[in-house]
Amino acid sequence: MHRRDILAAMASLGLTNVIGSRIAQAADEPAIPTIAGPDLNTIPPTFRAPAGSVDTHTHIFGPAAVYPFSPKRPYSPPDAPLEMFRKLHEAIGVERAVIVNATVHGFDNRVVTDAIAQSGGKYRGVANVNNSMSDADLLALDKAGIRACRFAFLKRLGGVGDMKVFRTLVDRVAAIGWHVDIYLEAGTVREFVQILKALPVTYVIDHMGTISAAKGLDDPEFKALLDLQASDDKCWMKITGLERASAGAAPFHDSVPFAKQLIDNAPDRVLWGTDWPHPNVKIMPNDGTLVDLIPLYAPDPAVQRKLLVTNPEKLFKFAPVT
């Protein structure tokens, strides 16, 4: 039934204008977009990840019946629960993971902390936090295996927000030994350089700074990213989102030179992740294909071990693999 039909029916029943205006307002609200789920037919990768490898950027969605999505979420994903998450890592040969709480779950971090509790020490987490959380709340998250919080400076995920609140939260989480995870809008690296350098804590830039492979290695944004990474020891980089950076289709080889330069630039401060189940991508990747990119941008086995094992152990405080 169209909105006008609803309102006409209510008028015939003599219902108040207030109720009618509320229905009109609800009808005018934009629908929450639904996004695609991951490719569940994982291609077995040819590359074999070293023992103790960590997927440092991955998500769990729901099940919504147990872990409800936020009513203010920017998109609605299909469920991608813990069981599916485990199958993915078994298929690609990765033993440990860092679960990044996505905006769909708002500030409810239970989907992450419950998974960590069932992992036998194999999972850590990145939480969503706000200033209404007490110090006791943050310490409880730390005890539950959270090692960082995330700030997404993307218009589609809510925009930049109040930078004073951002800095207050950074100071609070720094006091308990966390780092911060930064997700930048494409084309904004240079705007954030001084803000990031001034932070009192280690920060990790998601998805290689959301660079665009189509703009080439001489793109000023990419050069600014390399300079930031080289000049600030607090700056770490996630080698994730090659499918997001790519100008073409799988296997996303046009993104490989960018990943390689970032790794060569600071091999002790780089991390790897799948970004499963790949929310809001233009081209849905197969995770086996993404794993097989690793030896292309990190051909040296010693660097592969840093990227996949020892760097994440250090940053997320995993027990070292013996």
| Cα–Cα distance for residue pair 48/93, rounded to 1 Å | 7
Please tell me whether the peptide bond between 277 and the residue prior to it is cis, using omega within 30 degrees of 0: yes
For residue 107, count CB atoms less than 10 angstroms from its CB and return exposed for 0-12, middle for 13-18, buried for 19 or more.
middle
Q: Which residues are 271's β-sheet partners?
A: 238
Give the up-direction half-sphere exposure of residue 10: CA atoms within 13 A in the CB hemisphere. 17
267 contacts 297 by C-beta, under 8 angstroms: no
Number of Cβ within a 10 Å radius of residue 92: 24
Residue for token pair 């790949």: 278
Active site includes 137?
no
**Counting runs of H as helices and runs of E as strands, what totals does the chain give?**
14, 8
- Give the containing element (helix H, strand E) for 137: helix 135-143
User: Which residues, 6+ apart, have CB-to-CB distance to 285 below 8 Å?
Assistant: 39, 242, 243, 250, 252, 278
Candidates 39, 55, 181, 275; catalytic one: 275
| Residues with catalytic function | 275
